[in-house]
Chains A and B, each alone.
Chain A
Amino acid sequence: MLSGLGFEEIYNLKGGIKAWQGLEAAGPKELNLDIVRGDETPDEIVALAYDMEDSLQTYYKEMHHRTKDQEVRELFYKLASIEDKHKRTILELIATIEAPGGSTKISQADTGTMVLEGGFDMAEFMEQNEPTLKTVPNVIELAMMLETQALDLYLRFAAKSTNAETKDVLFKIAQEEKGHLAGLGRLMEEKI
């Protein structure tokens, strides 16, 4: 249909989603979209992304303290440390978008609750998932699920955004998320 209407480069995914071997996100297209208005400036979006990375790090740290199994505890510690790198990357992103004299204040996003990457409420998420996080593969799977939902959410934020610069920033953040996922994939191979 599209090929005759001016769309030049179209590919069909052979076998559709059933044949897809990559990561999958879940949820309706409106899921957690209420976190953004759509008219955010780039620095507001960066502050929100930083907050979500920070909340995820808090979650991993909390799980590190609450977990008894030594190997799983170490993994939560490692995941929390990785979030330091992600937060640094976001700070670097601010430097690339900020106008001279600008001073973006981090942690200004007002989401009302602690929102993890992917848009999950931290308290609810902890309550629902803690019982299943007893092994290293379970924990890495959870981390990959969170990053996958985050990638999806940032791209849906980009679709909602009415600001071209904000869209660009969201694409950059989504690109970073892809890198995080690749890193977790390597960690999974290493640990299993």
Chain B
Amino acid sequence: MTKVKTQSLQKKGSDLAQSNRQLEILSNGIFKSGELPTFKDKISETSQFPLKAKKLEILQINVGYMCNQVCDHCHVDAGPDRKEIMTRETMRQCLDVIKNSGAHTLDLTGGAPEMNPDFRWFVEEAAKVGIKDFIVRSNLTIIRANKKYYDLPEFFKKHNVHVVSSMPHWTKGKTDKQRGDGVFAKSIKALQELNAVGYGMPGSALKLDLVYNPSGAFLPGDQAAMEKDFKKALMEDFGIEFHNLFAITNLPIARFLDFLIASENYEDYMYQLVEAYNPSAVTNVMCTNTLSISWDGYLFDCDFNQMLELPVNSKSKHISKFNEELLEGRNIVISQHCYGCTAGAGSSCQGVVA
């Protein structure tokens, strides 16, 4: 049975809305007792501590936590009740950085980035810079949420935006369970509309990729096999085409951590992550070539660290004081949630890494 999802942890006044409470949980229990090794100890085994930032390749900008959905697994704790929104002023500062940095990829995320009132202005301005890969992480349902968003597929096309969208399963039951009642039908319609303007079609330069993350306390399966199953089912059932599927592991923070604890799956899940630890995934983990920028302009090693309020370990902490040289080679800030990016074939916003 699906449920109507309405409130963020923050709105509910949950303990777990606090980042320090989440970090406390991740540091205590089985990690404090030594039953499982901390992430620091684990990467030290292969002399990979401290994890260092390499050359900046990807700028991931979170333009706000507001979202039209309240998904079970959301590491942002996003929802309609979240009011943190990037201002045009901060966007201007981001544009200066985009123009001058060596990053080849710009990745806009949220919440639903389209809900930021300056989203279109920002996309238009950023597209002028001519960055190689310009990603917008769209939750799909936003395209069908309100008339003012109906033209988004055309807008994305006009600015040659690379659309990356979440899709937890090719069936209604599993999708709506995770993302809320009615999400599957709206997502299918949105995908068909994206296809109609050329997104995701074989050979099309209009890139449409899907993100799969598990609906519960288990790790994602093999990315290539999942992509095959998704492609077959979406084509046979709805005539939908897309390019690549990225399989992403749920990290034990925010609402997913809340779910793990409430369902008594936390310890078992952490065991799964630690047992699936893959040292070769550490080499290419996304924090080493990515910088995450929050709605208020602060810099983080990744979007997960942003949500845990773990700022970069550098003197350059804000977009207004951005200094690529200072940031390169910085020590990445880690905790036990990092096991989520090094399990199995690894996990990043672009899928597997190993």
Q: Does chain A bind chain B? A: no
**Residues of B participating in the A interface, judged by any CB pair closer than 8 Å:** none
